Amino acid sequence: MEFGLSKAHRRDEKIQKRIQTALDWLDAHSTEELLAEPIGNKEIADGVELRFQEYDTREYATMNYETHRKHIDIHYMIQGAEWVRWADAGTSEAASDYDPDVEIQYFKHPAFHSKALLTDRHYAIFDPSDLHAAHGIVDGKVNHNHKLCVKIALD
C-alpha cells in the first residue's frame, strides 16, 4: 500500500507512467461506461491490464491474503463498497507456494493489518511487498461489487 511523505516518494519512472496511464484512462470514463465493460481482461497499454470483476463481498475469516512478484495491483472500485486489508510481506505464514503461472501466492492472516474502506471511484495500490486481502464485507452486510483490478507490470 502506498503511504508516506510526498518528499520521500520514489517510484521507477516507467512504472509511474503506467500507473498514471491507468488512472487517466479510468478518469476519462464515466461510471456507466465502466459498468458497461464486459467482465474479463482488457489491455489498455504496454504493461497495463484491466481486469473487470463482479462479485459479492465476504467475511474476513474466509479470506486469504495474497501478493504478487511481477506486478503492482491497483484495486479500483467502480461501484460498491468493501474493506481492503494489507500488511507487510514477511509478517505472515504462507498458505500456498508461489504459482508463477497465475503470478500469485496466498498467505494466512497476519497478526496485525491495516485496512481502508474502498468505495465508488476510489483505489488502493498494492506493491509486491504488500500482502493484501480484498472483498471484505462492510457493516456485516454482503454487498455486490463491480470492481477493477489493474495489473501494472514491473518489467
For residue 25, being part of any structural domain is answered with yes
Tell me the per-residue pLDDT of 91-135, one tens digit each, with 9 for 90 and over: 999 999 999 999 999 999 999 999 999 999 999 999 999 999 999
Give the mean pLDDT of the chain.
Answer: 93
For residue 67, being part of any structural domain is answered with yes
Of all helices (H) and strands (E), which one includes residue 79? strand 71-79
Task: Report the CATH number that the domain containing residue 35 is assigned in CATH.
Answer: 2.60.120.370
Nearest alpha carbon to residue 63 among 127, 131, 122, 128: 131
Is the four-CA dihedral 107, 97, 89, 106 of positive or negative sign? negative
For residue 4, being part of any structural domain is answered with no
Q: What's the pLDDT at 5?
A: 53
pLDDT tier for residue 1 given thresholds of 50, 70 and 90: low
CB 83 within 8 A of CB 138: yes
Tell me the per-residue pLDDT of 2-29, one tens digit each, with 9 for 90 and over: 665 555 556 789 999 999 999 999 999 9
- Could you tell me the pTM of the whole model? 0.92
Backbone angles phi, psi at 91, to 5 degrees: -105, 10
Give the other-Cβ count within 10 Å of 113's Cβ: 18
pLDDT (mean) for 38-56: 97
Number of domains in the chain: 1
DSSP assignment letter at 124: E
Range of the domain at 68: 9-153
